[in-house]
C-alpha cells in the first residue's frame, strides 16, 4: 500500500487515541513520520546545527596562497586592519659583528658601489608581504580623511589561465611614495584605534616609535637575509625564478603574494612583483661619500631643504628584467609618481 493511501485511509477512534499518546510521549509536534531520505555518507558537518551548515554553504572561499597560510603561524606579529583584514610581520634581528655587506660588486651599478659594511643596531618588524590590494583598500576606505583612492591598482582582473592567482592578494600598485607614507602614518597615529587589532604571536605587544616605510639599508638587509648573492636564493635567473615574479615569468601582471619561496627571514616577494618604496631620498653617490665608511650604523638619506627629491625604490617588478630584481640594485622616482608596478611594504620601528 502506498504512503498516500495510508495517509488518506479513515482511522478509527482507538487508532487516533493511540497516535496522540505516542506523539505526547515523544514530545513531537506532529505524529507524521518524515519520509525516508536516501542514505548519505556522514560528514564532519552532520553534527552541526542546520543553521550553521547553511551559513557555511554560502560563505565565499577566502583567497589564500601557500605563503599566506604559512605566515599565519610563522609571523611574529599580526595586525588586523579595519574589517579584520590581516597583515603579517616578521621580526628582523639587528646585525651582529661587522654587520652586512651592502651594495653591488664593481661594474654592476655605479650608484650601488662600493660594497661596504653596514650595521643595523635595532631589530624591526617588516611585512611578510608587500601591502596587498585588499589590505590597502580596507584601511583607505576606513580612513576617509586621507582621501586616498581605495582601489588604485591597474592589475585587478582575474587570470582565467591561473585560478590560483587571487587579485585581492596581489600587491597594491599605482601608489606614490606620498600615498604609502600617508597610509603607514595613519596606522602610527591610530595605533590604539578600535578599528585595529594587534596580535602578538610570541611576545607582548611592543610600542612603536614609528610606522613607516623601511630605510634603504633595512630593505636590503631584510632582502638579503644573510646572503651575498645576486638574489636571496642564489645567482642567475634560475635563482630568481624561485623567489620572484619578473618579465620572464609574470605573464604580464602582478601575482598573488606568497606563491614564491620565502627568504631566510621568512619574507616573500622581496624580488620582483612590485618595486617597493623606501624612506630614503635618492642620492646616486650616497655610497661614495665620506660618511658611508665601513661600519656605518643605520644609514638613512634624508631629504634636503629644496623640496621633495626623488625617492628610492627597490626590488624590481613583474614588468622588468632580472638584473633590476637583484638585492643590491637601486632605482628612484619622484615622490608623487604612480605606476602599475610601484608598491610598498610596511616597517614597524619598536620604541626605545
Domain assignments of the chain as residue spans, ordered by start: 76-350
175-189, 217-231, 258-272, 278-292: least confidently modelled range: 278-292
Alpha-carbon torsion (127, 129, 130, 134), positive or negative = negative
Q: How far apart are CA 225 and CA 212, in angstroms?
A: 20
The continuous run of DSSP H or E covering 25 comes out as helix 13-26
What integer pLDDT is reported at residue 240 of this predicted model?
98
Please, which residues bridge with residue 207 across strands?
none
Residues 183-222: tens digit of each pLDDT: 999 999 999 999 999 998 766 677 899 999 999 999 999 9
Give the largest Cα separation in the chain, rounded: 109
Q: Is 222 helix (H, G, I), strand (E, B) or coil?
A: helix
What integer pLDDT is reported at residue 289 of this predicted model?
86
CA-based nearest residue to 269, from 53, 40, 3, 71: 71
Q: What is the DSSP letter of 171?
A: B
Q: How far apart are CA 187 and CA 184, in angstroms?
A: 5
Q: Is the pTM of this model over 0.85?
A: no
CA-based nearest residue to 276, from 197, 191, 333: 333
Q: How far apart are CA 59 and CA 25, in angstroms?
A: 39
76-350 under CATH 3.40.50.720, yes or no: no
Q: What is the DSSP letter of 302?
A: -
Amino acid at each position: 500500500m502506498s504512503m498516500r493511501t495510508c495517509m488518506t485511509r479513515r482511522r478509527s477512534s482507538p487508532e487516533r487515541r493511540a497516535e496522540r499518546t505516542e506523539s505526547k510521549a515523544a514530545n513531537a509536534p506532529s505524529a507524521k513520520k518524515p519520509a525516508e531520505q536516501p542514505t548519505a555518507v556522514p560528514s564532519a558537518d552532520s553534527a552541526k546545527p542546520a543553521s550553521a551548515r547553511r551559513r557555511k554553504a554560502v560563505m565565499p572561499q577566502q583567497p589564500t596562497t601557500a605563503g599566506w597560510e604559512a605566515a599565519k603561524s610563522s609571523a611574529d606579529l599580526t595586525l588586523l586592519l579595519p574589517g579584520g583584514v590581516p597583515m603579517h610581520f616578521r621580526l628582523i634581528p639587528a646585525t651582529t659583528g661587522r654587520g652586512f655587506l651592502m651594495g653591488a660588486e664593481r661594474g654592476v651599478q655605479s650608484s650601488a658601489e662600493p660594497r661596504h659594511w653596514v650595521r643595523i643596531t635595532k631589530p624591526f618588524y617588516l611585512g611578510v608581504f608587500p601591502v596587498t590590494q585588499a589590505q590597502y583598500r580596507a584601511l583607505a576606505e576606513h580612513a576617509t580623511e586621507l582621501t586616498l583612492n581605495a582601489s588604485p591598482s591597474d592589475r585587478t582582473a582575474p587570470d582565467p589561465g591561473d585560478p590560483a592567482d587571487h587579485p585581492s592578494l596581489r600587491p597594491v600598485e599605482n601608489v606614490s611614495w606620498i600615498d604609502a607614507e600617508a597610509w603607514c602614518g595613519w596606522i602610527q597615529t591610530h595605533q590604539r584605534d578600535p578599528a585595529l587589532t594587534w596580535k602578538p604571536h610570541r611576545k607582548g605587544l611592543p610600542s612603536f616609535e614609528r610606522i613607516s616605510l623601511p630605510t634603504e639599508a633595512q630593505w636590503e638587509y631584510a632582502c638579503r637575509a644573510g646572503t651575498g648573492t645576486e638574489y636571496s636564493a642564489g645567482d642567475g635567473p634560475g635563482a630568481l625564478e624561485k623567489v620572484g615574479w619578473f618579465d620572464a615569468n609574470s605573464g604580464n601582471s602582478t601575482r598573488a603574494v606568497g606563491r614564491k619561496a620565502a627568504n631566510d627571514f621568512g619574507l616573500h616577494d622581496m624580488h620582483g612583483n612590485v618595486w617597493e618604496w623606501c624612506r630614503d631620498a635618492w642620492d646616486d653617490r650616497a655610497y661614495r661619500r665620506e660618511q658611508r665608511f665601513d661600519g656605518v650604523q643605520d644609514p638613512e638619506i634624508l631629504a634636503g631643504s629644496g623640496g621633495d627629491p626623488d625617492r628610492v625604490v627597490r626590488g624590481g617588478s613583474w614588468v622588468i628584467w632580472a638584473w633590476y630584481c637583484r638585492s643590491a640594485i637601486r632605482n628612484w622616482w619622484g615622490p608623487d609618481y604612480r605606476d602599475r608596478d610601484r608598491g610598498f611594504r610596511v616597517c614597524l620601528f619598536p620604541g626605545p
